[in-house]
Structure 1
Amino acid sequence: MLEVRPTCENCNKDLPNHSVDAMICSFECTFCKDCVENILFNVCPNCGGGFEKRPTRPVNCITGNCVEKYPIGERVVYKPVDKESFNEILNMFIDVEPAKR
């Protein structure tokens, strides 16, 4: 089950469960859409993977699988991208489709 982290790892923007700006990689690194598009260029600084829109956890409890029973994560991961070390990762993967990294 996804942790659904509450903020962007780079800029610390709030990304509540219903946010349409939350993006995640396959390791659940969480960034806002603005950082993914304008700073990271769809390259995760932690793993080199690509990003997808993070799904929202349902608020309705018709099936019993909802945010009330399974609350979103509270752990804030805030570690702004070190541009110098990220440039090496970015240069390696920017022209490679995420599925082929």
Structure 2
Amino acid sequence: MLELRPCCECCGTDLPPDSREARICSYECTFCAGCAAGVLAGACPNCGGELVRRPIRPAAKLLKHPASTVRKVKPAGCVAA
């Protein structure tokens, strides 16, 4: 089950569970669309994997399987992989 992390690891932008701006790699590293398309050029800086749009979990399912509240943000921001 995806964690649905709450923010961009690069800039800290909030990415709620229903955000269409969230991008993830296969390890669920999470970034906003701006950072993913900009400085990261579509590649995860942690593993080098492709960044794709994170799916949205239906609101009714969030009651049973809530999104993560753990914020992971790189103190120095991000650089391309």
TM-score by length of 1: 0.75
CA distance in 1, matches of 2:43, 2:59: 31
1:69 is aligned to 64
Shift of 1:43: 1.1
Gaps of 5+ in 2: none
For structure 1, the 5+ residue unaligned runs are 61-65, 90-101
SS at match of 1:68: helix
1:7-18 alignment to 2 at 5 Å? 7-18=7-18
Partners of 1:37 and 1:52 in 2: CA distance: 10
Higher relative contact order (CA 8 A, sep 6+): 2
2:27 alignment partner in structure 1: 27
Instruction: Report which of the two structures shows the higher radius of gyration computed on alpha carbons.
Output: 1
Alignment of 1:1-101 (within 5 A): 1-60=1-60, 66-79=61-74, 80-81=77-78, 83=79, 86=80, 89=81
> For the residues of structure 2 that align with 1:18 and 1:70, how far apart are their CA atoms?
14
4+ long deviations beyond 4 Å: none
